[in-house]
Amino acid sequence: MSRHRNVRSMNYSEEYDGYDDVYGHSVEDDYCVSPSEAAFMYDREGSKNKQKIGAFFQTVSNIAEEHEGEVDSKGSGSDIEEARLQSCIDQVKETLGSSFSIKEIVLSLKKNNFDIEKTINDLLMKRADGELKQETDKKGKAITTPHPQKAQVVSSNQTTVNVTKGFDLAQKDISRLCPTPRSESPGSGRVTPINVQSNENEEKPKHKSYGKDDVLNNYKKDRSGEKEHLYMIVIGHVDAGKSTLMGHLLCALGQVNQKTMHKYEQESRKLGKQSFVYAWVLDETGEERNRGITMDVGKSQFETNSKIVTLLDAPGHKDFIPNMIAGAGQADVAVLVVDATRGEFETGFDYGGQTREHALLVRSLGVSQLAVAINKLDTVNWSKERFDEIIQKLKVFLKQAGFKDNDVAFVPCSGLTGQNLVVKPTQKELIEWYQGPTLIEVIDNFRVSERPILKPLRFSVNDVFKGTGSGFCVSGKVETGSLSVGDKVLICPSREVASVKGLLTDDSPKQVVYAGDQAQVTLSGIEMQNVSVGNIICDPQNPVHVTTKFQARVVIFNIAVPITKGYSVVLHHQSLVEPVIVSKLIAQLNKSTGEVIKKHPRCLTKNTSALIEIQVSRPIGVELYSDCKELGRIMLRVGGATIAAGLITKIL
């Protein structure tokens, strides 16, 4: 397969926000996943930064204070007001439909001092007075007037027309998705009705039975005036500074109170781990703190101007990649942290480090937008050359991994000193050459993924635990559809029925949760031990497929030994981790076109594509990729390395 061809096919799918493009080109040998055992060992104590640590603590409190000041200033400033205005506009539109232009609503709102009741009355009065007649007639009932200056965003984010070579499975799927508020009209914070109409026509008949309008309307009602919710996973080689970066970010945003921070500082000093004080914000278990590494996905939350961001801090260590995969399955976007220190970037990137594997993994799991934090720039004296050098290397690789140039942003920063995280940098060596956005600005600019709320309910269980009251809780992500308190649901693969007693997102009770939400569900009518991580909670009328055998189309990464029939591998499907056997090699496929090159190949070698059959020892709940992207993706791992990513094409 020639390189030319690869590049070409990638361009075709440029606009497409799916998985297909990963299949449209070959991932060259040297860019592939094969972390060696060597990466397991690292010398934490020998960290070069040690001597400087003390100096940084001074800045901790400073930055936090500075930041608090900033929030205050913002509070009185335009941002909050704008958000408030926005939410009011939404509420008004909710009631009145879209027959009034935003300008009118805004005017009226201001006049009525943001009192929604009054505004509505006011507007309706006007209408009655006939003042607005021409406007309404022209616009029809369903069209919102978008913010003029934001209208262009639509074209770049939302195009679904694509010429994709390789898999075309996803195409029919995408049009059905309810576009995100962000991609539709960033200002409105919700879905415009017109899209509902067109979506409906393309719905498969089997989903017709859904009270879609109700669901959508409720969704709009529930979520109007809220900031968009973004799930972000932080990835990168072990010790790249992920936890520190995010811990510092949280501190700087005032998410961690001074007292706690002080406590962490004292305690970490006692353990001689001062350099990990920020990491402690996320690494909570004793084990993690003692060892100074993240083991399971840590979760926290913060807000940006336009978004509520749930942060998933992934473990970088290769042994904990299964945890990372589970985390990435829940994420919309990713922040890839790389260590700019000389030699360290190279270790993480070239010599079997996790940088590549992580990036490939999240891409294969459907994450398409990426911020790359070039971290620890303090160790290289904020060198622009170093920054550019790293970007250069990463760009090539990320493109090959299937990320579009436009969806990748590079940000220079330092997690330890806090430069360029939340406030504009002050380091003069950095300002000299960098005027771009801060990390938080980049995060704020991410688009939120589509929320397929009209599809039947699918909820993947990521955690099972005792709640405070009766029953027990599961947490996970609503992949598709919606879920209300009182619903009867089916737990698959056991096919037991349970009912929903309560719903929480981010510790606040909800009546309904929608696709894209990470929720905590209190279940009753079922024993706690009968629900486990990896289960799929679904609509009893429209359950997920339960099977022990399926076919998948896979791309094979840079594997050390070929895959044969009968190969034992570990399957990752959402949060499920299950040993499986590659029971058949059905055909070897052309990586770009998907054509069958050879039937029943004897083995599959690295960087190829194939159709295989997978046998699971016990039933699991899966979906065809064409029906449900979220539950149609799989990853295969062996001996601690990811060997393939795939899409489920047939359920047997």
Ligand X SMILES: Nc1nc2c(ncn2[C@@H]2O[C@H](COP(=O)(O)OP(=O)(O)O)[C@@H](O)[C@H]2O)c(=O)[nH]1
Please report the DSSP string for 323-370 in residue order.
Answer: HHHHHHTT-SEEEEEEE-STTHHHHHHTSS-HHHHHHHHHHHTT--EE
Q: Between 310 and 329, how does the x/- string for binding to another protein read (CB under 8 A)?
A: -------x-xx-x-------
Coil, strand or helix: which one is 554? strand
**Of the candidate residues 17, 378, 407, 630, the single one contacting ligand X (CB under 6 A):** 378
Residue 313: CB minimum distance to another protein, A: 11
Strands (E), 332-397: 333-339, 369-375
Of residues 311 and 531, the one with the C-beta less far from Mg ion: 311
Sign of CA dihedral 490, 491, 492, 495: negative
Q: Of 239, 357, 517, 623, which lies in the binding site for ligand X, with binding defined by CB under 6 A?
A: 239
Under the binding rule (CB under 8 A), the answer on residue 263 touching another protein is no
348: Cβ contacts below 8 Å, ≥ 6 apart: 236, 237, 238, 240, 338, 339, 354, 355
The least CB distance from residue 395 to ligand X, in Å, is 22
Options 91-99, 235-243, 355-363, 452-460: segment touching ligand X (CB under 6 A): 235-243
**420 with 438: CB under 8 angstroms?**
yes
In the bound state with another protein, the residue whose beta carbon lies nearer, of 255 and 305, is 255
Site string for ligand X, 495-534 (x = CB under 6 A): ----------------------------------------
Name the residue nearer to another protein (CB basis): 140 or 579.
579
C-beta of 56 vs 567, nearer to ligand X = 56
Contacts with 354 (C-beta within 8 Å, 6 or more apart), sequence order: 35, 39, 235, 236, 237, 238, 316, 317, 318, 321, 348
Size of interface with ligand X, in residues (CB under 6 A):
24
The Cβ-side half-sphere exposure at 160, using a 13 Å CA radius, reads 15
Is 308 a binding residue for another protein by CB under 8 A? The answer is no
Spatial separation of the C-alpha atoms in residues 91 and 106, rounded to whole Å: 12
Q: Which of residues 133-172 bind another protein (CB under 8 A)?
A: none
What is the Cα–Cα distance from 339 to 347, expressed in whole angstroms?
9
Handedness of CA 379, 384, 389, 390 (dihedral sign): positive
Q: How many residues bind another protein (CB under 8 A)?
A: 50
By a kind-dependent CB cut-off of 5 to 8 A, residue 599 interacts, out of ligand X, Mg ion, another protein, none, with another protein
Q: Please state, in angstroms and rounded to a whole number, the distance separating the CA atoms of residues 391 and 405.
A: 12
| Residue 244 makes contact with ligand X by CB under 6 A | yes
Please report whether residue 639 would count as binding another protein according to CB under 8 A: yes
* Residue 384 parent element (H or E): helix 384-401
Q: If binding is defined by CB under 6 A, does position 379 make contact with ligand X? A: yes
146 vs 640, beta carbon nearer ligand X: 640
Gap between the Cα atoms of 359 and 235, Å rounded: 8
Please pick, from the candidates 47, 532, 590, 593, the single residue that binds another protein as defined by CB under 8 A.
532
CB of 392 to another protein, least distance (A): 32
Contact partners, residue 81, CB within 8 Å, separation at least 6: none
**Phi, psi of 403, deg, nearest 5:** -90, 140
Chain positions 404 to 463 lying near another protein, rule: CB under 8 A, are 462-463
Could you tell me the smallest distance in angstroms from the CB atom of residue 376 to ligand X? 4
Going by C-alpha positions, the residue among 411, 415, 394, 398 that lies closest to residue 362 is 398
- Please give the distance of CA 118 from its chain centroid, rounded to a whole number: 39
Shorter beta-carbon distance to another protein: residue 68 or 506: 506
Pair 247, 282: CB distance under 8 Å: yes
Q: How many residues does the chain have?
A: 652
Burial readout 580-594 (b: 16 or more C-beta within 10 A, e: otherwise): bbbbbbbbbbebbbb
Judged by CB under 8 A, the residue of 270, 286, 428, 435 near another protein is: 286
**The entry of another protein, ligand X, Mg ion, none that residue 379 binds, CB within 5 to 8 Å by partner kind:** ligand X
Q: x-or-dash pattern for another protein, window 556-595, by CB under 8 A?
A: ----xxx-xxxxx-x------x-x-x-xx-----------
What is d(CA 298, CA 313) in angstroms, rounded to the nearest whole number?
5
Q: Which of residues 2-41 bind another protein (CB under 8 A)?
A: 40
Closest CA to 20 of 591, 502, 557, 597: 591
The CA-based angle 364-361-564, given to 5 degrees, is: 80
Residues 229-258 that bind Mg ion (CB under 5 A): 242-243
Verify binding: residue 300, ligand X, rule CB under 6 A.
no
Select from 300, 558, 574, 607 the one that contacts another protein (CB under 8 A).
300
DSSP assignment of 125-164? HHHHTTTTHHHHHHH-SS-----GGGHHHHHHHH------
Q: Does 268 bind Mg ion (CB under 5 A)?
A: no
Residue with smaller CB distance to another protein, 541 or 617? 617
Q: Determine the longest span between alpha carbons in the chain, in angstroms.
A: 79
Residue 234 has which token pair?
A: 């932080």
List the one residue from 296, 339, 378, 630 that touches another protein (CB under 8 A): 296
* Interacting partner of 49 out of ligand X, another protein, Mg ion, none (Cβ under 5 to 8 A depending on kind): ligand X
Find the binding residues for Mg ion in span 283-302 (CB under 5 A).
Answer: 294
CB of 532 to another protein, least distance (A): 5
Which residues form the interface with ligand X (CB under 6 A)? 47, 49, 236, 238-244, 275-276, 279, 292-294, 316, 375-376, 378-379, 414-416
Which residues form the interface with another protein (CB under 8 A)? 40, 284-287, 291, 295-300, 317, 319-320, 322, 462-466, 475, 529, 531-533, 560-562, 564-568, 570, 577, 579, 581, 583-584, 599-600, 602-603, 605, 637-641
Which residues form the interface with Mg ion (CB under 5 A)? 242-243, 294
